Amino acid sequence: MAITATKGQTGLTGNSAVAYAMKQVNPDVCAAYPITPSTQIVEDFSGYVADGEVTTELITVESEHSAMSACIGAAAAGARVMTATSSQGLALMWEMLYIASGMRLPIVLANVNRALSAPINIHCDHSDSMGARDSGWVQLYSETVQEAYDNVFMALRIAEHKDVLLPAMVCLDGFITSHAIENISLLDDQEVRQFIGSYSAKASLLDIEGAPTFGAMTLPDTYIEFKRQQSEAMTRAKDAAIEVMKDFGKRFGREYGLFETYRLEDAEAAIVVLNSAAGTTKVAVDALRKEGKKVGLLRPRLFRPFPWQEIAEALKGAKAVAVLDRADSMNAFGGPVFSEVRSALYDLDSRPRVMNRIYGLGGRDYKVKDAVEVFNEALKAAETGRVDTLVKYITL
């Protein structure tokens, strides 16, 4: 049975909050195949369908590959489409992720972050969404249940923006956020409808007078032009995200940006980290500040497109930056967030020393003491101007 929620403060898990946001969106089509730890999203949403609270066509399929295939078909027909998955489910969609983006279909997917096999693990890390980071999907990351709920609406607006028309992924940490109950503030259904607006596809296969072509064969004389247009759309997605986030804040009083900073203004050492680990890191920041140590945090929210100029500007005052990755690129040179942040800082006249710490794979706890240890390493690098170990696993 689907949860019943009312406007105002309500205790929900991350999964139930995402499902409730989907209910309020009332998409035309949702094609899904359940997988831990995102199963509850589909379970709750199917309850809304069964109870007649949405008019969505829920398509139950035999695999996640089929789910994204059905989403692509529905979106190409002009429907507003949403789905949810995790880990191996996202991996099984791999082929179709690129097709959804290449066809410029604004599908919204909630990805509950979970480690990829092998070995089999059902707990949190970011190897699934980071593996898909170059598939052409806009990616938003969520620290809390509230942010995951709000991100669903913003992702939809960004994806459907006339200057973007790309699929979007809302990421939240498996079990840590997806199954944790937090008090969140829900929006009224009418407020949601006014914010997201109605959807009219730019092209539809059901337009018998001028039906478009999707997925045609292209040869070397045309393929690169399609990719350039897709890349330019991703570049424009940053400004679209800024526009949408400002509108959300103006309407509902919850301010979001491309990233969040915490006590970063005068920080000599900073940690960059995604999602729920930011909350733990903030506790460490406060503890070290009481000791007179100048430390701070930057938490990216929009990872695709990567707002490299804004992040470089925010970090330029730090003497040392520790980038924490909950995934390893398996490139013998650290994690994906590290590579992007270090590259963003390269053109600064005076660059911070940068190090990478890989943590929490497969759901391993990341504790305040871990953050404190990383801050102390970064403070040492700030003082000496030297990073002793560039890439290292922690939380072992």
Q: pLDDT tens for residues 111-161? A: 999 999 999 999 999 999 999 999 999 999 999 999 999 999 999 999 999
pLDDT(94) > 50? yes
pLDDT(18) > 60? yes
Give, in words, the CATH class of 8-252: alpha beta
Rounded to an integer, the average pLDDT of 91-110 is 98
Q: Tell me the pLDDT tens digit for each residue of 25-55.
A: 999 999 999 999 999 999 999 999 999 999 9
Angle at 319 between CA 318 and CA 324, to 5 degrees: 75
Rounded to an integer, the average pLDDT of 253-274 is 98
Rounded Cα gap, residues 271 and 251, in angstroms: 31
Q: Tell me the pLDDT tens digit for each residue of 211-228.
A: 899 989 999 999 999 999
Q: Tell me the pLDDT tens digit for each residue of 156-166.
A: 999 999 999 99
pLDDT(189) > 90? yes
Is the preceding omega at residue 307 within 30 degrees of 0, hence cis?
no
Rounded to an integer, the average pLDDT of 199-216 is 90
| Lookup result for tokens 């092209």 | 203
Q: Tell me the pLDDT tens digit for each residue of 323-359.
A: 999 999 999 999 999 999 999 999 999 999 999 999 9
pLDDT(276) > 80? yes
Which residues of 38-107 form beta strands (DSSP E)? 57-60, 81-85
Same fold, 8-252 and 259-393: yes
Q: Tell me the pLDDT tens digit for each residue of 363-389.
A: 999 999 999 999 999 999 999 999 999
Measured in degrees and rounded to the nearest 5, phi and psi for residue 218 equal -125, 150
pLDDT given at position 208: 87
Rounded to an integer, the average pLDDT of 162-175 is 98
Q: What share of the chain in percent tops pLDDT 70?
A: 98
Rounded Cα gap, residues 110 and 178, in angstroms: 11
**Fold classified for 259-393:** Rossmann fold (3.40.50)
Q: Retrieve residue 285's tokens.
A: 């920041």
Extents of the domains making up the chain:
8-252, 259-393
Rounded to an integer, the average pLDDT of 97-107 is 98
Question: Can you give the C-alpha Rg of the chain in angstroms?
Answer: 21
Rounded to an integer, the average pLDDT of 2-7 is 61
Chain-wide mean pLDDT for the chain? 97
pLDDT given at position 7: 65
Q: Tell me the pLDDT tens digit for each residue of 292-314.
A: 999 999 999 999 999 999 999 99
Query: pLDDT band for position 6 (50/70/90)?
Result: low
Query: Which pairing describes strands 353-358 and 391-393: parallel, antiparallel, or unpaired?
Result: parallel
368: nearest Cα among 296, 270, 284, 277: 284
pLDDT given at position 77: 96
End-to-end CA gap in the chain: 40
DSSP for 337-349, written as a single string: HHHHHHHHHTT-S
pLDDT(2) > 90? no
Rounded Cα gap, residues 208 and 213, in angstroms: 12
pLDDT(5) > 90? no
Q: Taking a C-beta distance cutoff of 8 angstroms, is the pair 237, 158 a contact? A: yes
pLDDT(1) > 60? no
Rounded Cα gap, residues 163 and 236, in angstroms: 6
Q: Tell me the pLDDT tens digit for each residue of 309-326.
A: 999 999 999 999 999 999
pLDDT(90) > 70? yes
Rounded to an integer, the average pLDDT of 214-243 is 96
What residues does 219 pair with on adjacent strands?
none
pLDDT given at position 210: 86
Q: Retrieve residue 38's tokens.
A: 């995102």
pLDDT given at position 327: 98
Rounded Cα gap, residues 145 and 168, in angstroms: 18
Q: What is the 3-state secondary structure (H, E, C) of 199-242?
A: CCCCCCCCCCCCCCCCCCCCCCCCHHHHHHHHHHHHHHHHHHHH
DSSP 3-state of 277: helix
Q: Taking a C-beta distance cutoff of 8 angstroms, is the pair 160, 166 a contact? A: no
